[in-house]
């Protein structure tokens, strides 16, 4: 006979276990949904501490407020074992016996409802660490939680923790009196739980301790137990995701709760938008009527409007925006959640002619991209081949290097840190330096409707070789809901890999696959990614001379060969055969600045007067659609 327990039954068992014994540990390796509270089903999240990048890094901390609270005055305070804490950077005890931020996220006990409905994978979570020594002239390293439970009962305290060579056990006690705390472990079955090398979920239930309920003076204390707690080897205990859950007392009106989270939305500029019924996002425990609001972080990129309980999202321009929606029940503080909208470029109709990327100026402002294109970055260091690029290129103003502060708002001209540089008629350059927002790629959207055959050219190059090897590989996809796939040529992936400094390689006449012909929206992604190496500087690579060509119905053997050059301020076109056609000259922003006709001749001269710079010259005949870039000095 087989025996099994489903998740609901198991959680019910856990709730009973806690009620009976007051404490349970759940190891991170077990198949339990540890991000969901396993306390009383009628309980509510009252306090939640998320440790993210809003905390200063490499800095001794003394106090941390919860990011979510239903009662005021909750706080986490820290006492260091060393008298005089916190110390200045020039003190020998700097960052000793300290509480600090560190990078150690975990989904254990993560509560999206306590973080504006943001899912774990985009929560920007870090952690806190308590460092050796744990005993000294200032007493013991101790965490103090001030947790006023006014209006609540059946208190449950939860958190994640792991040992990294510093302690064997935790020591947990509490106080319920006013004035100087009187600490006790009465009612706690296991006040000294073991620590593990991996994160564990710790759950402490106070529902059998009546004094913990409806008590503005309720406090919890965490200390540390081990063999030699005065040793100082730089080791630590790490914590994450402290929370308090409780049930409301009768007559205590509760705020709205977030019942569904909206994940990242990917849309196309000037394309279809979307709608959300906010009654499916928020619910009120007391059935109070809710008043909603919606705000877009960047309304010129993403418009957000509200009609009744329905919010409409409209993509206007390439980029992204955080959309914040709120609900208020008229009794409690407003509850809010947010989601991000990423807006991709609209597609260029290739049936109308060639599309090219041959120039980008370093003076372009932030959130500017070539038409039908977009530069992308990640939210990590050194993205690899399969890592997502879900953010438009942007440098936060507080992440500009001091040498680049004069460039604020102009991220294509920086000389330090992760960046894309505009190289004028040499295109762009990518380089990463490990900023948590590393690059990246160039995405181009093309409409291949009524196109039966098309080809592609591009150029890759090495500007600075350095030790970490990077590559630029070409991908494509035909909708926003499937992963990018390699664009193949002669059975091989198409990529440029770091070579000697100054090296360039042209990829010419790449035939686009038949399965994407006549597709209305196709994205092509040139992805700059780490190939190998984990120390020292990264390679800076160049991308340039991208040209999409519609060759539908063109016989390759019938293509004329043209020569275009400049002389004395003029653009001169010559052909070995008689030509009839139209010549168009565009500037690097795609603006038409001059036209000329060639009739029954082998030569045409276009005089641009005193205008200098880089231009794109296009010749259209009955048999050819020719495009090239030229520099007029």
- Tell me the mean pLDDT per 10 residues along the chain, length 633: 33 42 44 35 88 92 95 95 96 97 95 87 91 97 97 96 97 97 95 97 95 97 97 97 94 87 94 96 93 97 97 97 96 91 97 92 97 96 95 96 97 97 96 95 97 95 96 97 94 96 94 95 98 94 95 54 77 81 77 81 82 80 71 76
Phi, psi of 527, rounded to the nearest 5 degrees: -100, 120
Instruction: Write the secondary structure of 89-103 as one string of H (helix), E (strand) and C (coil).
Output: CCCCCCCCCCEEEEC
Rounded CA-CA distance 627/228 in Å is: 75
The domain total for the chain is 4
Residue 209, pLDDT score: 96
CATH number (domain holding residue 152): 2.60.120.260
> What is the per-residue pLDDT for 23?
47
Note whether residue 14 is domain-resident: no
Q: What range defines the domain where residue 621 resides?
A: 556-632
Q: 480 and 354: one domain?
A: yes
Asked if the structure places residue 9 within a domain, the reply is: no
pLDDT of residue 559: 45
Residue 425, domain CATH: 2.60.120
> Is 100 in the same domain as 240?
yes
- The last residue of one of the domains, among 285, 312, 344, is 344
Judged by DSSP in three states, 620 sits in strand
Instruction: Please tell me the predicted confidence (pLDDT) of residue 144.
Output: 98
Same domain, 278 and 359: no
Q: Give CA–CA dist 444/374, Å, rounded.
A: 7
43 and 165 co-located in one domain: yes
Note whether 155 and 210 are same-domain residues: yes
Rounded Cα distance between 632 and 625, Å, is 22
Contacts of 126 (CB under 8 A, 6+ apart): 51, 52, 53, 55, 101, 102, 103, 104, 105
- Domain ends where: 502, 525, 550? 550
Coarse DSSP helix, strand, coil percentages of the chain, rounded to the nearest 5 percent: 5, 45, 45
Report pLDDT for 321. Answer: 97
CA distance 283 to 279: 7
Last residue of a domain, one of 248, 269, 284: 248
- 284: domain CATH number? 2.60.40.1080
Q: Is residue 569 part of a domain?
A: yes
pLDDT score, position 39: 41
**Geometric angle at alpha carbon 76, from 72 and 77, rounded to 5°:** 120
| 596 lies in some domain | yes
Q: Which residues of 14-30 are buried (b: 16+ CB within 10 A; e: fewer)?
A: bbeebeeebbbebebee
Residue 1 lies in a domain: no
């Amino acid at each position: 006979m087989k025996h099994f327990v489903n998740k609901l039954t198991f959680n019910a068992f856990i709730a009973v276990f806690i009620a009976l014994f007051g404490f349970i540990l759940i190891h991170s390796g077990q198949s339990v949904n540890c991000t969901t509270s396993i306390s009383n089903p009628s309980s509510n999240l009252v306090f939640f501490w998320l440790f993210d990048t809003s905390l200063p890094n490499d800095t001794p901390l003394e106090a941390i407020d919860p990011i979510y609270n239903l009662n005021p005055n909750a706080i986490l305070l820290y006492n260091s074992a060393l008298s005089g804490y916190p110390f200045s950077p020039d003190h020998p005890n700097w960052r000793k016996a300290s509480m600090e931020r560190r990078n150690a996220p975990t989904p254990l006990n993560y509560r999206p409802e306590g973080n504006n409905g943001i899912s774990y994978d985009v929560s920007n979570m870090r952690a806190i660490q308590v460092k050796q020594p744990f005993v000294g002239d200032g007493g013991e390293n101790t965490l103090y939680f001030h947790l006023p439970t006014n209006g609540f009962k059946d208190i449950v305290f939860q958190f994640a923790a792991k040992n990294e060579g510093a302690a064997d056990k935790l020591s947990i006690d509490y106080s319920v009196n006013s004035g100087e705390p009187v600490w006790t472990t009465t009612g706690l079955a296991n006040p000294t739980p073991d620590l593990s090398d991996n994160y564990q979920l710790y759950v402490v239930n106070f529902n059998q301790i009546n004094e913990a309920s409806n008590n503005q003076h309720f406090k919890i204390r965490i200390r540390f137990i081990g063999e030699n707690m005065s040793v100082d080897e730089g080791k630590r205990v790490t914590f994450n995701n402290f929370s308090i859950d409780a049930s409301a007392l009768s007559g205590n009106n509760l705020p709205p709760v977030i019942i569904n989270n909206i994940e990242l939305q990917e849309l196309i500029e000037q394309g279809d938008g979307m709608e959300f019924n906010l009654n499916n996002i928020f619910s009120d425990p007391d059935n109070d009527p809710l008043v909603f609001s919606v705000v877009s972080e960047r309304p010129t990129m993403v418009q957000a409007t509200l009609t009744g309980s329905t919010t409409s999202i409209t993509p206007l321009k390439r980029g992204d925006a955080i959309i914040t929606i709120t609900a208020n029940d008229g009794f409690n503080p407003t509850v809010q959640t947010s989601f991000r909208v990423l807006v991709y470029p609209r597609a260029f109709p290739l049936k109308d002619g060639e599309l090219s990327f041959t120039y980008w100026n370093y003076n372009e402002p932030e959130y500017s991209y070539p038409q039908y294109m977009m530069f992308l970055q990640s939210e990590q260091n050194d993205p690899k081949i399969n890592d997502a690029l879900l953010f438009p290129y942007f440098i936060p103003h507080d992440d500009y290097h001091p040498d680049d502060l004069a460039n604020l708002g102009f991220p294509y001209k920086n000389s330090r840190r992760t960046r894309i540089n505009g190289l004028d008629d040499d295109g762009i350059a990518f380089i990463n330096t490990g900023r948590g927002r590393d690059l990246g790629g160039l995405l181009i959207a093309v409409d291949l409707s009524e196109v039966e055959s098309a080809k592609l050219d591009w150029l890759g190059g090495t500007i600075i070789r350095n030790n970490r090897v990077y590559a630029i590989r070409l991908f494509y996809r035909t909708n926003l809901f499937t992963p990018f796939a390699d664009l193949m040529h002669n059975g091989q992936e198409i990529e440029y890999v770091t070579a000697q400094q100054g090296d360039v390689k042209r990829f010419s006449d790449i035939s686009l696959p038949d399965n994407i012909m006549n597709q209305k929206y196709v994205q092509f992604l040139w992805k700059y990614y780490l190939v190998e190496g984990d120390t020292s500087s990264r390679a800076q690579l160049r991308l340039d001379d991208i040209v999409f060509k519609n060759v539908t119905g063109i016989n390759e053997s019938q293509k004329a060969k043209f020569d275009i050059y400049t002389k004395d301020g003029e653009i001169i076109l010559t052909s070995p055969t008689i030509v009839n056609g139209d010549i168009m000259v565009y500037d690097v922003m795609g603006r038409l600045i001059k036209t000329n006709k060639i009739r029954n001749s082998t030569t045409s001269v276009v005089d641009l007067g005193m205008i200098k710079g880089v231009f794109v010259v296009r010749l259209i005949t009955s048999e050819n659609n020719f495009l090239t870039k030229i520099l007029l000095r």
